[in-house]
Structure 1
Amino acid sequence: MSASPPAPAPARHPRSARSELRRLAPLLLLALGVGAVLVGRDMGLGELTAPGPGLWPTIVAGLLIATSVVLLFLDPAEDYEPWTAGTARIVAGLAGLALFIVLFQTIGFVVSAFLLLFAWLRFLGGESWRMALVLAVAGAIVLHLVFVVVLGVPFPAGPVDQLLGG
């Protein structure tokens, strides 16, 4: 009996630009974590017996940084999902959330919550204009009642917030 020669090992392809683009997500998470640590530090860490407002965000940001480093160096980029049109929707949702934070500080909670809910429902969720409008109004009012009235969370008051007694 003759032994057949072993099959050659499959050739490894050099990393393509598309594969490297998949590394963008952990890099963005790393940048977000570093930024959050800096913001948390500026808010004041306090001490373990008397924590400041920035302690918890800094701890979470540290975990985000650690996770990002693990993803960058230990997780193969080939395991990541490719960037698609669905990815753009996720980025748009996160951009809307960032805009919500800016608007929240300038025009108050109710209006910014309404705008975020409406945009997400209509443009990301595909709801009809009428349904998105109704759900966004109801959602903003319910969120105001839960956080401001029931839980007593102090938010910056905008014009609508003042009308609702917040």
Structure 2
Amino acid sequence: MIVTTTDLEQYSLILIASTNEHPSPKLVEVNWLPKDDISWRASKSFAQLKKHYRLSADDFSFIDSNSLSRKDPSQALLLTAIDQLDEYAAGKRKVFDLPLDLSLGTEFQQKVWRALQDINYGETISYATLAQNVNNPKGYRAVANANGKNPFSIIVPCHRVIASDGKLGGYTGGLDKKEYLLALEGV
């Protein structure tokens, strides 16, 4: 797997592309790191990724985003992801078009993550509405839990889900990031 980081305003994002598990590369994680922290092994799901794909720490390669090459398919995917994130940050992109490997989640989590992708840019819904959207109307806590395990921050827009009373609720990356993303989208 190839790992890189990119900046989004005052925050750093970690991007991880899968190489050997698929015929063509897919992203397996996009997550937040503290600014200027290149300790990508501290990513919330690093251990889970190693276990899921049966990899050792040596199977991960960190490549600075400035050193990526479009000639390598996995690196090209990372560059495309960075381009799309930059377009999003500049207000020029509302929908991401990237191949994602959702297999890290359970069947229910995957269903929730797919439903998150149906929430339009600049809109929010409640956890209760999201539960209804996945045909589990009383499962708002289960939906909130699946939302919190989303490995694709921003790209799978879990930041667009708020509490029924209009409060932000939680966000695995931190409420400051959720506020930043919603403000960026004009919410």
| TM norm structure 1 | 0.29
Question: Which structure is higher in strand share?
Answer: 2
Question: Which structure is higher in helix share?
Answer: 1
Q: Give the structure, 1 or 2, with the largest relative contact order (CA under 8 Å, sep 6 or more).
A: 2
